[in-house]
C-alpha cells in the first residue's frame, strides 16, 4: 500500500481524541512531502540535525516533534521552531530549554519521558524521579517551558499482556499527577504507542501515538 493509503487506514480507525505523530526519521524530504499532501502535518524526528535539515526544506506549518534523546548542547538548534519535545529526562535539560526559549521569545511545550520498559536501552525518568521533578521548586522558575504531558515506550516484546501493563502503569501515574496544575504544568498529553503497539496504547489511555514503519514500511 502507498503512504497515503497507510495513513488513511490508521487515521480513520483512530478515536477522535487521539493525535497521530508521523515518525519521519530516516526518510527523505520527498517522502515527507507526500505525507504533507495528505493534510497530516505533525512530524516526529529523533535526531536534531536531521530535524533541522528537514525543517529548512519543508513548509513552515509543519509541527515538529522531537521524540529522541536530546543533549543539552543541541537544544539551541531546535528552540526556534520545535513544537513539542517528548524526551525530557532531567531538570538540567529543562533549564537549557527554558534558556533557549527565552532567547527565542517563546514557550516550549515538553513531555517528561518516563521509563516503563524492562530494557536497559531506553532513556527516561522512573516514576519517583518524574514525580520529584514535577514537584521541584526549581521547575517553578522556568517560565518559558510548559510540561504538557508524559511519554513512555513499552518493552519491545511479543508479550501483549506485559506491554499493556506497562502502558497502564503510566496511564495511572498520569491520572495521579494530573491533579498538580501550576503556571507551567498542565498534563494533557499521554504519548504512548508506536507501529507495533499503538492499538494497545490507545486501549490503555494514550492520546498521542508515534507511528513510522506502519506508514513508510520498515526502515533500512
Ligand atoms: C522510531 C520511533 C517511533 C516509531 O517507531 P515505528 O515502530 O517505526 O512506528 C516512535 N517513537 C520513538 C521514540 C521512536 O524513536
Q: What is the pLDDT of residues 133-159, one digit of tens each?
A: 999 999 999 999 999 999 999 999 999
Mutate to test the pocket of ligand 1, among 194, 209, 220 (most ligand atoms within 8 A of CB): 194
Q: Which three cell numbers stand for residue 1?
A: 500500500
Give per-residue pLDDT as tens, 122-136: 689 999 999 999 999
| Helix, strand, coil share of the chain (percent; to 5) | 40, 20, 35
Over 90: is that where the pLDDT of 37 sits? yes
Mean per-residue pLDDT, 60-80: 98
pLDDT for the residue 164:
98
Average pLDDT over residues 182-198: 98
- Computed over every residue of the chain, the mean pLDDT equals 96
pLDDT (tens digit, 9 = 90+) per residue, 104-123?
999 999 999 999 998 876 68
The number of the ligand 1 atom at minimal distance from the alpha carbon of 25 is 1
Atom of ligand 1 nearest to the CA of 46: 15
Is 209 close to ligand 1, i.e. is its CB under 6 Å away?
A: no
Asked whether 149 lines ligand 1 (CB < 6 A), one says no
C-alpha cell at 137: 521548586
What secondary structure letter does DSSP report for 36?
A: H
193 CB near ligand 1 (under 6 Å): no
Length of the chain counted residue by residue: 220
| pLDDT tops 70 at residue 177 | yes
**Could you tell me the pTM of the whole model?**
0.97
Q: Are 156 and 166 in contact (CB under 8 A)?
A: no
Which cell is 207 given?
492520546
pLDDT of residue 140: 96
Q: Going from the N-terminus, what domains does the chain have, and what CATH number goes with each? A: 3-212 (3.20.20.10)
Taking the centre of ligand 1 as the mean of its atom positions, its distance from the CA of residue 212, in whole angstroms, is: 6
| pLDDT in the model for residue 119 | 80
Query: Is the Cβ atom of 217 under 6 angstroms away from ligand 1?
Result: no
Rounded CA separation 196/17 (Å): 20
pLDDT above 90 for 6: yes
Q: Which residue has the higher pLDDT, 149 or 1?
A: 149
**pLDDT band for position 93 (cuts 50, 70, 90):** very high
Q: Give the pLDDT mean for 34-41.
A: 96
C-alpha 197 – ligand 1 centre gap (Å): 10
pLDDT, position 121: 66
Cα of 97 from ligand 1 centre, angstroms: 23
**Distance in angstroms (rounded) separating the CA atoms of residues 206 and 73:** 31
Query: Percent of the chain at pLDDT above 90?
Result: 95
Are the beta carbons of 86 and 191 closer than 8 angstroms?
Answer: yes
Cβ of 65 closer than 6 Å to ligand 1, yes or no, is no
Amino acid at each position: 500500500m502507498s503512504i497515503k493509503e497507510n495513513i488513511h487506514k490508521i487515521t480513520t480507525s483512530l478515536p477522535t481524541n487521539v493525535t497521530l505523530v508521523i515518525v519521519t526519521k530516516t526518510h527523505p524530504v520527498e517522502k515527507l512531502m507526500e505525507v504533507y499532501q495528505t493534510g497530516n502535518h505533525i512530524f516526529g524526528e529523533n535526531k536534531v540535525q536531521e530535524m533541522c535539515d528537514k525543517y529548512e526544506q519543508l513548509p513552515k506549518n509543519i509541527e515538529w516533534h522531537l521524540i529522541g534523546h536530546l543533549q543539552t548542547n543541541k537544544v539551541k538548534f531546535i528552540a526556534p521552531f520545535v513544537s513539542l519535545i517528548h524526551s525530557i529526562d532531567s531538570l538540567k535539560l529543562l533549564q537549557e530549554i527554558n534558556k533557549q526559549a527565552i532567547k527565542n521569545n517563546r514557550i516550549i511545550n515538553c513531555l517528561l519521558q518516563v521509563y516503563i520498559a524492562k530494557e536497559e536501552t531506553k532513556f527516561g525518568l522512573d516514576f519517583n524521579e518524574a514525580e520529584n521533578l514535577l514537584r521541584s521548586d526549581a521547575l517553578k522558575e522556568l517560565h518559558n517551558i510548559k510540561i504538557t504531558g508524559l511519554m513512555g515506550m513499552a518493552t519491545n516484546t511479543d508479550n501483549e499482556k506485559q506491554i499493556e501493563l506497562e502502558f497502564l502503569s503510566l496511564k495511572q501515574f498520569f491520572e495521579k499527577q494530573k491533579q498538580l496544575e501550576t503556571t507551567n504544568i498542565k498534563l494533557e498529553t499521554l504519548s504512548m504507542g508506536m507501529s507495533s503497539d499503538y492499538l494497545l496504547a490507545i486501549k490503555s489511555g494514550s492520546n498521542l501515538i508515534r507511528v513510522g514503519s506502519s506508514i513508510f514500511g520498515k526502515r533500512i
